[in-house]
């Protein structure tokens, strides 16, 4: 919907700068005051879209408005001033939607707001810059349809590697159920591409409405003089193709199952129970002790196989204290084949400097069958400022432990098919799930992801729950999310589980899981190749048709063969059949 690309920078050449019409409607208001109308619309949509948990449809609306405004910004005088004004208002709108949880992120609320403003400002500036770059790079036809989705997805691929991961991105974490099936193939960045694609289609449709008629004959002549019929035809065809493609992508969501696996046939599923240990505070100050977590874990121990403690459940001031606590915990793990995933903070001697100590945020998987933890993981992605100043980030990627799951008592031996079934378990901690591809180094697909957390606000807890769902679906796995923060949510995510089970630390809870048997350990396409799939694919869609057309015009494969022979043989090929590079 580049309404002004073919117009000169002179403001008189733009229909939106014509004299105000006598009869006012939505079209004429936009034509008379394009800056005011577009900035106001962008702010309104941003208030709904740029919340703590961005939703699909409001994001499409926000981007569509910005795409409509992009040509005005680019071709009108004082581009820098209007971009700055737009960036300021969008930044403030996005800050409003995230202000309440940000106030308690740090001990100083003023510092929290300042960090939020900076993060929102950077995201807004880069998003608007992507819109302006789209006006500069796209022309008409296929290019206009495909350039912006490629720019948009590339932008958030790059920024997702920043300290806050995807938490500041303009990416949908809710409202994308029709496209959830693509996550194992493209990851969350595939949703970014789809959002941008729909924004292009909506902006073009609104642009056609905008140019559908002027308030007077002079303005109609200006509109017609700035358009080329053949260009409009190419662009409309490309937009129709893109729109039909985006609609077609929703079809698998009606065909693929979106519910957990049934336990009707025990030969094809592995049923077991998991639990989250959330003691109810018994002390006035709300502090929880090691014994509190041991007691609540024992209360669910008889019916579950894996008990997960929330992030930083207990703290150890030395390696010796940690080892003693682990030995104490093993004594209380009653039934054989039961595992407790203990999340803790430890302060130990720095191996690089014996005169210093370092603090880790970690998780250990314990059982009474081994004197050593089966799995140990150190949190790698720390919350900037709040954690990064006093906690040392881990360097090793998540490992995987194959847990021998014993047969339930009520299941006959012949149906279970052996004494144990393998259950591949890995782990990550809270902020790790905001990073892109945290499990890319795993050799195979995990059956279960242990995910302890401790968020400080219900809105943050809800957002991290959505991030956990995204990571679990990208891997084709299941995540056990146990949030011990005030107002935090908990539940099982992925593999048909969509809603959290409990909100707030109101006691331990458990869920039944059914893992397909035999389990398909092959990694998903996204877990193997990461964001490279959508990055390469989106730009191939931009260059592919144009490159293919140029290739055919140069003589196709026969001409390419002749060019190669001419380069590497003594007898050069005929000059008129060579491809010019």
Q: Is the peptide bond before 518 cis (omega within 30 degrees of 0)?
A: yes
577 pLDDT more than 70: no
- If one compares 408 and 298, the residue with the highest pLDDT of the two is 298
Least confident of 45-54, 91-100, 209-218, 386-395: 209-218
CATH class belonging to 272-529? alpha beta
219 pLDDT more than 50: no
Average pLDDT over residues 427-451: 94
Residue 401 confidence (pLDDT): 96
Q: How confident is the model at residue 324 (pLDDT cuts 50, 70, 90)?
A: very high
581 pLDDT more than 80: no
Q: Which residues contact 242 (CB under 8 A, 6 or more apart)?
A: 145, 146, 197, 200, 201
Rounded distance between C-alpha atoms, residue 363 and residue 360, angstroms: 10
363 pLDDT more than 70: yes
170 pLDDT more than 90: yes
Average pLDDT score, the chain: 82
Residue 212 confidence (pLDDT): 62
Least confident of 176-190, 345-359, 485-499: 485-499
Lookup: tokens for 339: 């595992």
Least confident of 10-19, 252-261, 290-299: 10-19
Q: What share of the chain is helix, strand, coil (3-state, %, to 5)?
A: 50, 15, 35
508 pLDDT more than 80: yes
Which of 96-110, 155-169, 220-234, 427-441 is most confident?
Answer: 427-441
Q: How confident is the model at residue 124 (pLDDT cuts 50, 70, 90)?
A: very high
- If one compares 322 and 414, the residue with the highest pLDDT of the two is 322
Centre a 10 Å sphere on the Cβ of residue 11 and count the other Cβ atoms it contains: 13
In this prediction, what percent of the chain has a pLDDT beyond 90?
48
Residue 503 confidence (pLDDT): 73
Residue 221 confidence (pLDDT): 33
Per-residue b or e along 108-135, where b marks 16 or more CB atoms closer than 10 Å to that residue's CB = eeeebbebbbebbbebbbbbbebbbbbb
226 pLDDT more than 80: no
Average pLDDT over residues 198-223: 65
- Between the alpha carbon of residue 142 and those of residues 201, 202, 233, 237, 240, the distances in Å are 12, 16, 11, 8, 10
The model's pLDDT over 134-157, given as tens digits with 9 standing for 90+, comes to 988 876 677 778 899 999 999 999
DSSP 332-366: H--STT-EEEEEEEEEEEETTEEEEEEEEEEEEEE
Q: Are strands 339-350 and 509-516 parallel, antiparallel or unpaired?
A: unpaired
For the chain, which residues make up each domain, given as ranges?
11-255, 272-529, 532-577
Q: How confident is the model at residue 18 (pLDDT cuts 50, 70, 90)?
A: very low
Residue 431 confidence (pLDDT): 93
């Amino acid at each position: 919907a580049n309404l002004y690309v073919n117009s000169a920078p002179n403001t008189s050449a733009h229909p939106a700068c014509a004299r105000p019409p006598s009869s006012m409607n939505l079209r004429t208001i936009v034509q008379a005051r394009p800056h005011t109308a577009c900035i106001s619309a962008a702010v309104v949509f941003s208030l709904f879209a740029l919340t703590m948990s961005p939703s699909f449809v409001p994001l499409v609306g926000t981007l569509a408005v910005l795409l409509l405004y992009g040509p005005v910004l680019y071709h009108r005088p004082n581009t820098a001033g209007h971009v700055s004004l737009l960036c300021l208002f969008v930044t403030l709108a996005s800050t409003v939607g995230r202000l309440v949880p940000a106030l308690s992120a740090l001990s100083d609320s003023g510092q929290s707001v300042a960090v939020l403003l900076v993060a929102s400002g950077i995201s807004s500036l880069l998003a608007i810059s992507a819109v302006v770059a789209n006006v500069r790079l796209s022309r008409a036809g296929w290019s206009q349809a495909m350039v912006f989705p490629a720019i948009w997805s590339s932008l958030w691929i790059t920024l997702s590697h920043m300290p806050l991961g995807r938490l500041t991105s303009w990416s949908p974490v809710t409202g994308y159920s029709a496209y959830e099936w693509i996550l194992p193939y493209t990851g969350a960045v595939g949703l970014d591409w789809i959002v941008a694609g729909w924004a292009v289609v909506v902006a073009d449709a609104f642009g056609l409405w905008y140019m559908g008629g002027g308030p007077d004959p002079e303005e109609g002549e200006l509109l017609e003089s700035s358009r080329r019929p053949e260009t409009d035809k190419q662009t409309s065809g490309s937009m129709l193709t893109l729109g039909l493609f985006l609609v077609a992508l929703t079809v698998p969501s009606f065909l693929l199952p979106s519910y957990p696996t049934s336990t009707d046939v025990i030969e094809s599923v592995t049923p077991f129970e998991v639990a989250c240990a959330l003691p109810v505070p018994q002390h006035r100050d709300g502090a929880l002790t090691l014994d509190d977590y041991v007691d609540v874990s024992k209360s669910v121990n008889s019916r579950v196989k894996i008990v997960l403690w929330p992030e930083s459940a207990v703290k150890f001031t030395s390696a010796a204290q940690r080892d003693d606590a682990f030995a104490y915990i093993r004594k209380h793990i009653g039934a054989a084949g039961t595992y407790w995933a203990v999340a803790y903070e430890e302060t130990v001697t720095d191996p690089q400097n014996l005169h210093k100590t370092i603090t880790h945020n970690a998780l250990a998987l314990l059982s009474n069958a081994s004197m050593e933890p089966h799995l140990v993981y150190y949190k790698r992605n720390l919350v900037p400022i709040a954690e990064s100043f006093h906690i040392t980030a881990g360097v090793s990627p998540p490992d995987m432990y194959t847990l021998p799951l014993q047969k339930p008592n009520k299941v006959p031996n012949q149906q279970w098919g052996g004494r144990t079934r393998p259950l591949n378990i890995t782990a990550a901690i809270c902020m790790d799930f905001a990073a892109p591809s945290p499990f890319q180094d795993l050799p195979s697909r995990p059956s279960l992801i242990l995910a302890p957390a401790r968020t400080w606000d219900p809105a943050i807890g809800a957002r991290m729950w959505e991030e956990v769902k995204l990571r679990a679906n990208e891997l084709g796995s299941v995540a056990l999310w146990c949030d011990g923060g005030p107002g935090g949510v908990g539940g099982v995510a992925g593999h048909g589980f969509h809603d959290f089970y409990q909100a707030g630390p109101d006691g331990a809870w458990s869920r039944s899981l059914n893992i397909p048997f035999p389990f398909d350990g092959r990694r998903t396409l996204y877990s193997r190749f990461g964001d490279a799939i959508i990055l390469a694919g989106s730009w191939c869609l931009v260059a592919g048709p144009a490159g293919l057309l140029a290739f055919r015009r140069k003589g196709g494969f026969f001409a390419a063969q002749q060019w190669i022979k001419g380069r590497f043989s003594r007898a050069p090929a005929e000059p008129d059949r060579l491809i010019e590079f």
